[in-house]
Amino acid sequence: MSASGSFGRGFRDGCINAIPFAFVMTPFGMLFGVIGTEAGLDIDQVLGFSIFVLAGASQITAVSLMSEHAPTLVILATSLAVNLRMGMYSAALVPTFGSLPMWKRALGCYWLFDQPFALTSIDLVRKPQRSVDERVAFYLGVAIPLSLLWYLGTYLGAVVGESIPADIGFDFAVPATFLALVAPMLRSIAHLAAALTSIIGTLLFYDLPFNTGFLAAAGIALIVGTEVERRLVNPRKEAVSND
């Protein structure tokens, strides 16, 4: 198959995998559009946030803090802390995308939010035979449509001025899509241990400032998963890399 053919196949597969998330992207974008408008931003500014940042929770944090007239440094530090998990995504994708030319890495990482990362890393296990180019296409096939829906939602929220009411259950649909990504991996004891650590740790450290509790829980969960793998899945012999 030609190079462009494998790109098309990867992109299409990415789009298909993104479909369940397409339904929550626009309502979530609308929520930000409404919060931003109510904080005093005009449509251009609200859209500017979504295009420059492309990370919902941190955008909501920044706009809320701005409307409370928090100091600039506090606004930036708090909102960026929400996005620090994406540094873990960046590291996790090094074995996959590290060989790409610098400009592709610099450009592609713009879309490194939760869904493109998670779906790409799941696809890595399910379809290990894809070439790097096909895998980039898969990643972009998830990321680009979802980012467009994010902009669209932001625009609609800012123009209409009303979000989809939370009590029809959309606020449950967002965490549900995240759990649905994780659930199929939980047959492995090491993955199950990591997931439980993440949940328990996040709840235990919930009151720590600047999102540090969540990040600490995630870091501990990585170690727990690895240690369980080394002890149970691969006892005695030196553990082999499964990336």
Partner 1 sequence: MIESSYIWMIAVLLGLGTWLIRFSFLGLVGNRQMPLYIRQMLNYTTVAVLPGIAMPMVLNGVNGGIEPLRILAALALLAVGVWTQHMIKALAAGLLIYFAGGWFIG
List the interface residues with partner 1, window 71-100 (CB under 8 A): 72, 75-76, 79-80, 83-95, 97-99
- Residue 204 makes contact with partner 1 by CB under 8 A: no
Q: Which of 74, 159, 160, 199 binds partner 1 (CB under 8 A)?
A: 199
DSSP-derived secondary structure letter, 166:
G
Q: Which of 22, 39, 43, 132 binds partner 1 (CB under 8 A)?
A: 39
Which residues 223-242 are close enough to bind partner 1 by CB under 8 A?
223, 225-226, 229-230, 239, 241-242
In the chain, the amino acid numbered 45 is: Q
CA 113 from centroid of its chain's CA atoms = 3
CB of 132 to partner 1, least distance (A): 11
CB of 232 to partner 1, least distance (A): 13
- Residue 182 makes contact with partner 1 by CB under 8 A: yes
Q: Which of 1, 3, 38, 40 binds partner 1 (CB under 8 A)?
A: 40
Which residues 113-172 are close enough to bind partner 1 by CB under 8 A?
114, 117-118, 121-122, 166-167, 169, 171-172
CB of 158 to partner 1, least distance (A): 13
- Residue 106 makes contact with partner 1 by CB under 8 A: yes
Number of Cβ atoms within 10 Å of the Cβ of 46? 25
- The interaxial angle of helices 132-160 and 43-53, nearest 10 deg, is 160
In the chain, the amino acid numbered 164 is: I
| Cα–Cα dist 188/227, whole Å | 13
Q: Which of 15, 55, 137, 142 binds partner 1 (CB under 8 A)?
A: 55
Total residues found in the chain within this entry? 243
DSSP-derived secondary structure letter, 188:
S
Angstrom distances, CA of residue 168 to CA of 34, 35, 171: 17, 18, 8
CB of 35 to partner 1, least distance (A): 13
Interface region with partner 1, contact rule CB under 8 A, candidates 6-14, 34-42, 136-144, 147-155: 34-42
The token pair at 57 is 């929770």
| Cα–Cα dist 182/191, whole Å | 9
For residue 77, give every residue at least 6 positions away whose Cβ sits within 8 Å of its Cβ, in sequence order, or none. 210
